[in-house]
């Protein structure tokens, strides 16, 4: 179930310098683990390791400004192609090797390789060594490397990781570089850049979007076979339940086909927070000090998840058995007509073209149905990928150059997502007609993303996520009632928040 500055241009005016030289499946879904995280095990031991080592403060990196010739050229377009600087034309005094840690596996790996080839082509004095890093223990691995003085030059992290990594003094702030090169926060959508900031500083830049990660994908032919009109998809929880009663199929007491598994939302922040926000709720106060998910919206949400699973999908045991039979493929049950609907993100179109081309032109993509306490349909922007520069890197200016290529530049950042027909965190990328060309769902993507809301992340988020997963599991498996599970989780998270803020 599901898991110096640089060449080339963003393609829009940004003043800045010119370039330098040149049944695990079911549990995974319940726990909110993305399909790309498929090597992760149910145990969350890596969070424990993170919390144990986070107090180790790596020594602060040197001040970073590009002091090379030609580093500041006013009123230019960043990295305009065909504008060689003195550094570009001079022979390389040395070849700089940069190490990049990332998590782009599967069909995205060849795209990543081409993206880096393009960077090296523009910077012949630089070689990039890419490492496809396993998801488990990734943060502990990064903290160990920073503490040992041997970190990657650029690393891919989740935005939900930022507070904990900043508290561990593991990252370099990007604001000085951004100001130097004219990389304004306004280049990005507000919900995207918000997750990269902590303590009034920017610690990473987003890639790809966090918004657009929770939308409803509908198999239109299946709807028609069930007598439903896919052009009028469910917009409320009540309509969703009614549709699934027509779509879900049992055979000899076993779940044969499923309308929607509400426990599977393809990644963070997990099913409960996703549906809580769809029900008009929030999980924490704006000052990050007080939990709010234990109110009426939270109780209503958790009870609905349990009732839907039991009354429509036949209970958690049948759902687990179903995914043991149908969820073992890399490409997943939705692509093989075992699921009528799935909650997933914009990345799915690229995957569907690969794994289920017969569906690619006959889908409906819409916003999540809203709960009874909500007045609008909305998804969540939580976490999401991005790139950061760890402390103790050997070539900080080149680290920034690579990071900017991956997150801001047109022929790097925009190109990478254009190949997948996915929206970008950058406004100008999405305004480029080439980005959505050939994607029949592009306007749907942008409309849904515009309604997504940012979900805050706290410095104790690793513990928060672990507790919320335990809460959902206890309710789904009947260990506690929804009300009891919610009260327990609320007290546990509030206690951890109180201890953290009292220590500041």
- Which helix (H) or strand (E) segment holds residue 381: the answer is strand 380-381
Q: Mention every residue, 6+ apart, whose C-beta is less than 8 A from residue 438.
A: 421
Tokens in use for 15? 């003043």
C-beta separation of 337 from 247 below 8 A = no
pLDDT digits (tens, 9 = 90+) for 365-377: 999 999 999 999 9
Q: At the topology level of CATH, where does 24-210+388-448 sit?
A: D-Maltodextrin-Binding Protein; domain 2 (3.40.190)
Residue 156 three-state SS: strand
Tokens in use for 67? 């002091």
Confidence of residue 434 (pLDDT cuts 50, 70, 90): confident
Distance CA 279, CA 300 (A): 8
- Which superfamily, per CATH, for 215-378? Periplasmic binding protein-like II (3.40.190.10)
Distance CA 275, CA 266 (A): 13
pLDDT digits (tens, 9 = 90+) for 132-160: 988 778 889 999 999 999 999 999 998 88
pLDDT tops 80 at residue 330: no
Confidence of residue 36 (pLDDT cuts 50, 70, 90): very low
C-beta separation of 46 from 138 below 8 A = yes
Instruction: Quickly list H helices, 12-171.
Output: 24-30, 45-53, 86-89, 109-122, 138-147, 162-167
Highest mean pLDDT of the ranges 67-71, 216-220, 284-288: 216-220
pLDDT at 54: 38
> Could you tell me which residue, 114 or 23, shows the higher pLDDT?
114
Confidence of residue 236 (pLDDT cuts 50, 70, 90): very high
pLDDT tops 70 at residue 104: yes
Distance CA 337, CA 256 (A): 11
Q: What is the dihedral of CA 64, 66, 68, 69, to 10 degrees?
A: -150
> Could you tell me which residue, 87 or 67, shows the higher pLDDT?
87
Tokens 């400004």 appear where? Answer: 65
Confidence of residue 328 (pLDDT cuts 50, 70, 90): low
pTM of the model: 0.71
> Could you tell me which residue, 30 or 272, shows the higher pLDDT?
272
C-beta separation of 44 from 463 below 8 A = no
Bridge partners of 426? Answer: 188
pLDDT tops 90 at residue 413: yes
pLDDT digits (tens, 9 = 90+) for 374-391: 999 999 988 788 999 999
Please state the rounded mean pLDDT for residues 181-185: 96
Tokens in use for 7? 């060449």
Please state the rounded mean pLDDT for residues 82-96: 57
pLDDT at 451: 87
- Which helix (H) or strand (E) segment holds residue 44: the answer is none
> Could you tell me which residue, 18 or 43, shows the higher pLDDT?
43
Distance CA 226, CA 247 (A): 6
- DSSP structure string for 403-452: HHHHHT-IIIIIHHHHTTT---SBHHHHHSHHHHTT-TTHHHHHHHHHH-
What is the residue-averaged pLDDT of the chain? Answer: 82
pLDDT tops 90 at residue 230: yes
Tokens in use for 351? 């995957």
Tokens in use for 466? 């672990």
CA-closest candidate to residue 177, choices 450, 388, 323: 388
CA angle 354, 343, 240 (to 5 degrees): 130
Confidence of residue 497 (pLDDT cuts 50, 70, 90): very high
C-beta separation of 101 from 155 below 8 A = yes
pLDDT at 484: 98
Same fold, 24-210+388-448 and 215-378: yes
C-beta separation of 264 from 271 below 8 A = yes
pLDDT at 74: 24
pLDDT tops 50 at residue 79: no
Please state the rounded mean pLDDT for residues 211-240: 96
Please state the rounded mean pLDDT for residues 405-416: 95
Least confident of 85-99, 240-254, 259-273: 85-99
Boundaries of every domain in the chain? 24-210+388-448, 215-378
pLDDT at 382: 84
pLDDT digits (tens, 9 = 90+) for 452-487: 888 999 989 889 999 999 999 999 999 999 999 999
Confidence of residue 329 (pLDDT cuts 50, 70, 90): low
Highest mean pLDDT of the ranges 115-129, 316-330, 433-447: 115-129
Distance CA 122, CA 33 (A): 37
Q: In the chain, what percentage of residues exceed pLDDT 70?
A: 82
Tokens in use for 496? 């951890």
pLDDT at 90: 60
- DSSP structure string for 238-261: HHHHHHHHHH-EEETTEEEEBS--
Confidence of residue 45 (pLDDT cuts 50, 70, 90): very low
For helices 237-247 and 296-311, give the axis angle rounded to 10 degrees: 10
Distance CA 284, CA 461 (A): 11
Please state the rounded mean pLDDT for residues 335-362: 91
Tokens in use for 424? 């970008």
Tokens in use for 46? 């890596």
Residue 341 three-state SS: strand
> Could you tell me which residue, 56 or 92, shows the higher pLDDT?
92
pLDDT at 139: 86
pLDDT at 420: 86
- DSSP structure string for 161-193: GHHHHHHTT-B---HHHHHHHT--GGGB-HHHH
pLDDT digits (tens, 9 = 90+) for 62-75: 222 232 322 222 22
Please state the rounded mean pLDDT for residues 499-504: 92
Q: In the chain, what percentage of residues exceed pLDDT 90?
A: 61
């Amino acid at each position: 179930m599901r898991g110096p500055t640089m060449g080339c241009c963003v393609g829009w005016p940004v003043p800045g310098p010119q370039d330098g030289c040149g049944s695990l499946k079911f549990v995974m879904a319940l726990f909110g683990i993305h399909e790309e995280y498929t090597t992760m095990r149910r145990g969350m031991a890596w969070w424990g390791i993170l919390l144990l080592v986070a107090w180790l403060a790596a020594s602060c990196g040197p001040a970073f400004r590009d002091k090379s010739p030609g580093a500041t050229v006013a009123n230019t377009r960043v990295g305009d192609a065909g504008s060689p600087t003195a550094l570009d034309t001079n022979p390389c005094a040395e070849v700089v090797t940069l190490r990049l840690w990332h998590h782009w596996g599967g069909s995205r790996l060849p795209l990543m390789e081409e993206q880096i080839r393009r960077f090296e082509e523009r910077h012949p004095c630089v070689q990039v060594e890419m490492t496809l890093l396993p998801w488990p223990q990734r943060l502990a691995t990064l903290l160990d490397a920073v503490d040992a003085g041997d970190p990657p030059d650029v690393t891919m992290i989740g935005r939900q990781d930022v507070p904990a990594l900043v508290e561990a003094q593991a990252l370099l702030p990007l604001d000085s570089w951004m100001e130097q090169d004219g990389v304004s926060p306004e280049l990005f959508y507000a919900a995207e850049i918000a997750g990269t900031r902590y303590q009034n500083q920017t610690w990473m830049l987003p890639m790809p979007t966090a918004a657009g990660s929770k939308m409803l994908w509908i198999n239109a032919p299946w709807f028609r076979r069930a007598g439903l009109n896919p052009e009028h998809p469910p917009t409320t929880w009540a309509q969703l339940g009614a549709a699934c009663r027509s779509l879900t199929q049992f055979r000899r007491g076993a779940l044969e086909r499923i309308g929607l598994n509400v426990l599977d939302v393809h990644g963070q922040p997990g099913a409960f927070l996703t549906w809580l926000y769809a029900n008009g709720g929030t999980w924490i106060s704006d000052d990050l000090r007080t939990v709010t998910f234990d109110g009426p919206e939270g109780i209503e949400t958790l009870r609905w998840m349990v009732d839907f699973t039991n009354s429509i999908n036949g209970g958690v045991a049948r759902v687990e058995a179903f995914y043991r039979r149908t969820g073992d493929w890399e490409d997943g049950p939705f692509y093989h007509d075992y699921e009528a609907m799935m909650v997933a993100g914009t990345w799915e179109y690229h995957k569907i073209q690969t794994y289920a081309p017969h569906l690619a032109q006959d889908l409906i993509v819409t916003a999540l149905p809203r709960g009874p306490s909500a007045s609008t349909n909305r998804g969540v922007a939580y976490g999401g990928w991005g790139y950061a520069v760890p402390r103790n890197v050997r070539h900080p200016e080149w680290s920034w150059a690579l990071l900017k290529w991956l997150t801001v530049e047109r022929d790097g950042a925009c190109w990478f997502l254009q190949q997948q027909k996915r929206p970008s965190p950058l406004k100008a990328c999405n305004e480029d007609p080439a980005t959505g060309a050939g994607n029949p769902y592009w306007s749907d993507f942008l409309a849904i993303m515009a309604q997504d809301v940012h979900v805050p992340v706290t410095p104790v988020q690793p513990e928060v996520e672990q507790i919320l997963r335990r809460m959902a599991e206890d309710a789904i498996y009947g260990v506690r009632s929804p009300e009891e599970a919610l009260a327990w989780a609320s007290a546990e998270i509030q206690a951890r928040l109180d201890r953290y803020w009292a220590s500041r």
